[in-house]
């Protein structure tokens, strides 16, 4: 049975897009918090510790190397699960413009490591191309929602 996607309001997703674009060509990561039921309503942007070891001459190799929340940010993230506004969605970007859950992502998140869904944002050429949400189902993360990136110039195509 496919899990239900957590409800992410458009304005929250827009804030994630802003972070993903600001971080480009690096990958961004962070998480969304909210009450234990219902929509998520705030974005917590983190530093991607993975990028500290990224390949500056091969930015495309960064697109599939995963993401790491580390140090004080990881501590705050882990502690927040005990509060009344826990992390419910973890997000990161892919700089090859594609929103999918890579094998590296599966390895990092499996267990699942935390009781969260994962939002992946595809960024390329300075714009968000697509985004998708993944939820734990039996023994792997599966896609439960997908969005096309905002179009430039107000086209509805």
CA–CA dist 33, 118 (Å, integer)? 12
Compare residues 51 and 105 and give the one whose CB is closer to Zn ion: 105
Compare residues 77 and 93 and give the one whose CB is closer to Zn ion: 93
- Shortest distance, position 120 Cβ to Zn ion, whole Å: 6
Tokens of 138: 């039996």
Tokens of 111: 């267990």
CA–CA dist 51, 28 (Å, integer)? 9
- Shortest distance, position 155 Cβ to Zn ion, whole Å: 28
Pairing of strands 87-94, 117-124: parallel
Compare residues 41 and 65 and give the one whose CB is closer to Zn ion: 65
Compare residues 15 and 102 and give the one whose CB is closer to Zn ion: 102
- Shortest distance, position 96 Cβ to Zn ion, whole Å: 10
Task: Name the site residues for Zn ion (rule: CB under 5 A).
Answer: 102, 105
CA–CA dist 22, 117 (Å, integer)? 23
- Shortest distance, position 51 Cβ to Zn ion, whole Å: 13
Shortest-Cβ-distance residue relative to Zn ion:
105
Phi, psi dihedrals of residue 137, rounded to the nearest 5°: -140, 110
């Amino acid at each position: 049975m496919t899990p239900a996607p957590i409800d992410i309001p458009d304005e929250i997703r827009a804030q994630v897009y802003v972070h993903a674009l600001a971080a480009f060509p690096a990958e961004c990561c962070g998480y969304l918090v909210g009450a234990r039921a219902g929509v998520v309503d705030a974005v917590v942007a983190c530093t991607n510790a993975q990028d500290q070891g990224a390949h500056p001459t091969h930015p495309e190799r960064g697109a599939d190397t995963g993401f790491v929340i580390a140090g004080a940010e990881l501590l705050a993230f882990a502690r927040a699960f005990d509060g009344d506004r826990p992390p419910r969605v973890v997000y990161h970007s892919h700089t090859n413009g594609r929103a999918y859950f890579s094998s590296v992502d599966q390895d990092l998140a499996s267990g699942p490591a935390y009781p969260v869904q994962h939002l992946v944002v595809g960024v390329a050429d300075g714009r968000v191309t697509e985004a998708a949400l993944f939820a734990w189902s039996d023994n792997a993360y599966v896609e439960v929602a997908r969005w096309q990136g905002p179009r430039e110039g107000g086209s509805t195509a």
